[in-house]
Amino acid sequence: MIMKFLFVFVIIFFMIPLICADTELTFPCFGDDETFVPCGFGDDEFGIFFGIGSNVPVDSDGDGIPDDQDTLEGSESDVITSGIANLIITIGGNSTQGTFSGVQEVMFYDGMIVLMEFNHNFSGSKLYLNLVSLAVTSTSIVVNLSGQVNDKILYLDDNSFIDLCVEDAEINSVSDISSGCNEINEIDFTSCLGNSTGIVINNMTCYNLESRLKIESLNYSGIRGGQEVLTPESPSGSGGGRSYQCNDNRDNDFDGLIDYPNDLGCESIYDDNEIDELEPALFDIKVDLKKGELDEKEALILYLDLINKARSGKIDIEIHYTIFDLESNILFDTSETKAVDGVLSYKKTFAELELGSGGYRIFVEIIYGDNQRASADQRFIVTKKGEVIPLRGSSITGFVTNIGENIGESFRKILEENRRLTLAGLILALFIIIVFIIKLDQLSRAKDRKMMNKRIKRN
């Protein structure tokens, strides 16, 4: 009888870890200080283990809140900044220390000066501050939130601008905004300058509030203002103060190069023609990552624009795609060649990358001409649904039972297809086994009593 119940116990003991693979099952145990601590079952790659100990779940940003409960990952120190002396972030008027729920107003400041604001639903998704970059100069502001927020407000000081350009695309630096504000996804907001009542273009609203510009409903985030350039008198000394193409702070031939000596078509600041028929090809690259957070089995999809600014005909360019982890280790690298005439827009899909949970960066570089290069990058994270952080023993050793790679993998696949139904089926099977064993025991006892009665009658 004891052996039969021991057999049932062993079956239940080894089935529970398989049932709970990729799920979290916890119950109280005694820790080092004789207090209750969580214990649990989980999977460790292909083996199954049972762990007991006083370890706590991972807290990546050190705010005292476990990652599985934290809706705000990181703090001000995790944001990549340029030109900001004292970055301060508030969530619903509070500091970044804590966890948040519902829709909250998120504000970014440089000291007391507001730079950006947006609303984020923390109950719907986490906000990762380590995926945010913010660069500010006297004439521009560029932010990149890696696709986490699509509706935001940006502020920029109006430093006597004579033109204003908004880039409605994910960009990496202000250099991605053309001087003529006439490329893909660029909107000329010069009419906003001096307009305090607001002007609406492409569903975006711009206000010139005294000495500050405020632009609302930005999907993406790049703003650049142009300032007047004082031009010298002509060589003749006539004193007209005339502006020449090679000294007007504009990209008149749209090749990405401005004025003498940067533009190859300019011989001096008095040259009134920037065009150089012998100009080499000049490319720009734009990379848009629609989703900044991926499931580990989800494909990484990029939308790319390759732009031949010099419009010098069809050019073959070599494109390299490289994925790095947060420690700059190369995890994936591939390349291809494409012919570009003007603008080439295409989608690139990377499937079966087999990236584990964590943060990553994809770097795209194009090589053309005489080893000329242009590049862009985007950051993203990979998460695993139902991920378990193993709780390994501290004072109590625990033990590990290797069920076998093939068996464990088979159970996991079955559970992934229909976890709840499979769990219910396994529990029902265990119940039937227990009832069957009890019934066998009852039949055995009845048989023993019958045999005993026969012996008594014989005697």
Domain-embedded: residue 260? no
Mean pLDDT of the chain: 76
Domain-embedded: residue 205? yes
Give the structural domain span for 207. 72-247
What's the structural domain count of the chain? Answer: 3
- What is the distance between the alpha carbons of residues 108 and 150, in angstroms, rounded to a whole number? 16
What pLDDT, on a 0 to 100 scale, did the predictor assign at position 3? 54
What pLDDT, on a 0 to 100 scale, did the predictor assign at position 47? 38
CATH of the domain at 350: 2.60.40.3880
45 and 81 fall within a common domain: no
What pLDDT, on a 0 to 100 scale, did the predictor assign at position 326? 81
80 and 221 fall within a common domain: yes
For every residue of 167-218, DSSP letters joined together read E-S--SSGGGS-TTS-STTEEE-GGGTT-SS-EEETTEEEEEETTEEEEEEE
- What is the distance between the alpha carbons of residues 135 and 154, in angstroms, rounded to a whole number? 12
- Tens digit of each residue's pLDDT (9 = 90 or more) over 38-56: 444 444 333 333 444 445 5
Residues 6 or more apart from 436 whose CB is under 8 A from it? none
- Tens digit of each residue's pLDDT (9 = 90 or more) over 339-376: 887 788 899 998 888 888 888 989 999 888 767 788 88
177 and 139 fall within a common domain: yes
- Is 387 a residue whose pLDDT tops 80? no
What pLDDT, on a 0 to 100 scale, did the predictor assign at position 86? 92
Domain-embedded: residue 311? yes
- What is the distance between the alpha carbons of residues 456 and 459, in angstroms, rounded to a whole number? 5
Confidence bin at 17 (pLDDT 50/70/90) = low
- Tens digit of each residue's pLDDT (9 = 90 or more) over 429-439: 888 888 888 88
CA distances from 236 to 230, 244, 246, 325 (A): 18, 14, 17, 60
- Tens digit of each residue's pLDDT (9 = 90 or more) over 272-325: 887 765 445 567 788 888 788 888 888 899 999 888 776 556 788 899 999 998
Confidence bin at 396 (pLDDT 50/70/90) = very low
Other beta carbons less than 10 A from residue 241's beta carbon = 10
77 and 139 fall within a common domain: yes
What pLDDT, on a 0 to 100 scale, did the predictor assign at position 418? 58
